[in-house]
Amino acid sequence: MFINGEWILREDLEVINPYTLETIGSITSLSREETKEAIKIAEEHKPVMKNLPPSTRYSILMNIASEIQKNKEKLAKIISVDAGKPIRQSIIEVDRTIGTFKFAAFYAKELRGETIPLENGIILTKREPVGLIGAIAPFNFPLNLIAHKVAPAIATGNSLVLHPSAKAPMAAIELTKIIEKVLKNKNIPLGVFNLLTGMGDVVGDEIVKNDKINMVSFTGSVEVGESITKNAGFKKITLELGGNNPMIVLKDGDIKKAIKSCVKGKFLNSGQVCISVGRVLVEDEVADEFIKGVIEETKKLKVGNPLDRETDIGALITPESAERVENLINQSVEEGGKILYGGKREKSVIHPTIMEVNHDNILSKIEIFAPVLPIIRIKDMDEALRYVNNTKYGLHAGVFTNDINKAFKLADELEYGGVLINNSPTFRRDNMPFGGIKRSGMGREGIKYAVEEMSEIKTVIIKHAINK
């Protein structure tokens, strides 16, 4: 952990390579009292960040981006051995992280207010930082999803405590070293940024409940997100949670494009993506063609060591995660689901699996978070709408159709935070508004929108000294 510019190194928790199951390091596990002390230190540094000029925040963020660029290969390798992500995908994640910090640098200079006319005076608005942000990040994108919290927090002048997943903390540690170097070069007190490693039920829980925290920014499971809403008290919350993201393929759509988009969107990072394709609903007239194409395309994927540049499918984050998925596949079969391809588990690896199920099957209702693709035959668009809106989730939905009227109808009626026409739901750009509705989250990420979430509007009213 890194608190007030000091590294505290204890070998409390082992960090395991998900693919080899070898120990690759260890981290300090903070106690609740240590977490409270770190939060207190971060709170004391709120004025430091608030008073930094926008040009200084811009420079900090650009320098962080530059240092990440210099360490690109090292960071990508860390992501792969820490989270089991194929190295080609890890390199893309590092590139996105560089862009995320650059986006934030731009918006550090764009914190604008407005003027409102007033009789005998003027009303001004300005944006100010919320104060102290508690950022809690997941394992699946262990660098870029952290950047989506750290970068806008710096851009808006907030101090920060960062709690990465204990399952994949190594990228956060390397990023902290980079931030430490940049802050030192700028002669900025290091207590503005603090890395709090350890277990979520201690460190994360204290961040959520602590009254000194002004805002919690969380990415993770629906279950933890619901707990945060009950325990956070009177503070701002943004939650980026999961979903069972539907992809609707209508008979008038481009089936070949849908096949490629589906396979790419389902099996990216072994399905451990919150906007991964959750289930495909395909019109019966083109279902056979679609299923055949998806199987053929999936057969091209290579399962193997994440450090091999030919690998497409690596490991799930833990053997327990893989066992959970194996049990879900078996339950799905018991409920009438058919394995069309795959279904094999080796330690932490789930081989790409394609299944045909019905609307009542377990895989139609939950977030699988694994390389398992359920396919459901539907009669028409109206049937698809009925089923995909009848869920607690509402993150992303994808639609394939060449009928503009159907496209607009689905865009209007799908109850999701994002609707992607002629694309799988697995699409994100780092500066677009990103988030869900229902139990898939609240608030929005994407740098411009996170900047708005992490700042408050202050209204200043100025009356003329002399009445006319």
- Residue 456, judged by CB atoms within 10 A of its CB (0-12, 13-18, 19+), counts as middle
Concerning whether 262 is annotated as a catalytic residue, the answer is: no
The active-site residue, picked from 34, 274, 283, 445, is 274
Concerning whether 240 is annotated as a catalytic residue, the answer is: yes
Could you write out the three-class secondary structure of the chain? CEECCEECCCCCEEEECCCCCCEEEEECCCCHHHHHHHHHHHHHCHHHHHCCCHHHHHHHHHHHHHHHHHCHHHHHHHHHHHHCCCHHHHHHHHHHHHHHHHHHHHHHCCCCCCEEEECCEEEEEEEEECCEEEEECCCCCCCHHHHHHHHHHHHCCCEEEEECCCCCCHHHHHHHHHHHHHHHHCCCCHHHEEECCCCHHHHHHHHHHCCCCCEEEEECCHHHHHHHHHHCCCCEEEEECCCCEEEEECCCCCHHHHHHHHHHHHHHHHHCCCCCEEEEEEEHHHHHHHHHHHHHHHCCCCECCCCCCCCCECCCCCHHHHHHHHHHHHHHHHCCCEEEECCCEECCEECCEEEECCCCCHHHCCCCCCCEEEEEEECCHHHHHHHHHCCCCCCEEEEECCCHHHHHHHHHHCCCCEEEECECCCCCCCCCCECCCHHHEECCECHHHHHHHCEEEEEEEEECCCCC
**Cβ–Cβ under 8 Å, residues 125 and 460:** yes
- Structure tokens, 35: 């977490």
**Cβ–Cβ under 8 Å, residues 45 and 189:** yes
**Rounded distance between C-alpha atoms, residue 277 and residue 258, angstroms:** 12
**Rounded distance between C-alpha atoms, residue 91 and residue 76, angstroms:** 5
The active-site residue, picked from 67, 240, 283, 367, is 240
Instruction: Give the residue numbers marked as catalytic.
Output: 240, 274
